[in-house]
Amino acid sequence: MKYYFRQIEDIPLSNSPVSAEIYFRGANATGLIEKQFNAGRSAVLLFIGGEPGTAYLFENGQSKSISLAEFLSLNDGGSHTRAIKLPDIAGRLMLLGLESQVKNKFAIADDEAWAKQINQWKQDQWNGLVEITSKNLHGFTFFWQGEPQKSDLIFSTPQGFVSDFPTLKNADDSAWDVTAYSHSDSAQAFQCTVLRLGATHWCNKILERYREMVGQKLLQMLDRELNRQIQPWRWNIKLDENDMLDGHFFPYLIDAAHAYRALFMAMGTQMDFVIGNNLTQKLLSETFEQVHPDEREVLKSQRLVPAAFSE
């Protein structure tokens, strides 16, 4: 049976998806509603920022996308409804898993075997999602060019959600069940993931180069101004020194591109005031070329290019 983040305590609601939906809408929260029917059948509905998103039915080891109406109508008499609130990172990785296909399943019995597997993915420069399930742990991490991404890594534990890479020793587990997922390049969740990585990596390179040119104090002034402009949009995005921290859950590529476009436009405008248009354009162009080619392609597909962000 598919059972997400089993270590997290249920929201104390009546055994009804309607009451759970009311809660998520009222709190503008990301979360999930699960219906458990029997050992081989369950369904899940993902809420994104208070709005119902995708729903899936799991049956006989297979999964399929279903509509909201189908999810609400599912009832096998003795079903149990469970609702939990999720960090946005958990929600977006869960959606990526739902939109991906199982590539491989295997067990990991010790930390040495896990380190060996990670090194193999690094050598292969593998791109994909990894899900880990055990008695005391459940979660996901996304590998990009063979490296686990700190921005896309979250696990549920008896102590709550954690964003650090676990170890078998610390988790007090005897073994992990690991699932590696492959993806379609056209899948919305995968495109959002690569766009987010591209925007983050480009932004980090811009901020680092800007700091080298103008110093730490002017960089901090830029960060404060951009964070002030971001705040009314309620995006979970923050600039901290040389880093762009993006914990927001954009379910659609167009919404993510809109947010990043607004951020880069504001950044270009602020840098123009300090170093002028010519140096700003040079900075944006040089740092853009340092971004990984796959990331550059998805940025270009959304017209997130240097010429668009400097007058």
Q: Is the pLDDT of residue 4 over 80?
A: yes
Q: How far apart are CA 167 and CA 22, in angstroms?
A: 37
Q: What pLDDT shows up at residue 164?
A: 87
* CB-CB neighbours of 256 under 10 Å: 24
Spatial neighbors of 1 by CB under 8 A, at least 6 apart, are 36, 38, 39, 40, 41, 42, 58
Q: Is the pLDDT of residue 40 over 90?
A: no
User: Can you give the residue ranges of every domain in the chain?
Assistant: 1-86, 88-183, 188-309
Model confidence over 205-215: pLDDT tens digits? 999 999 999 99
pLDDT-derived band at 190, boundaries 50, 70, 90: very high
Q: Is the pLDDT of residue 310 over 80?
A: no
Mean of the per-residue pLDDT values for the chain? 91
pLDDT-derived band at 77, boundaries 50, 70, 90: low
Q: pTM of the entire structure? A: 0.92
pLDDT-derived band at 185, boundaries 50, 70, 90: confident
Among 256, 257, 292, smallest CA distance to 146 is for 292
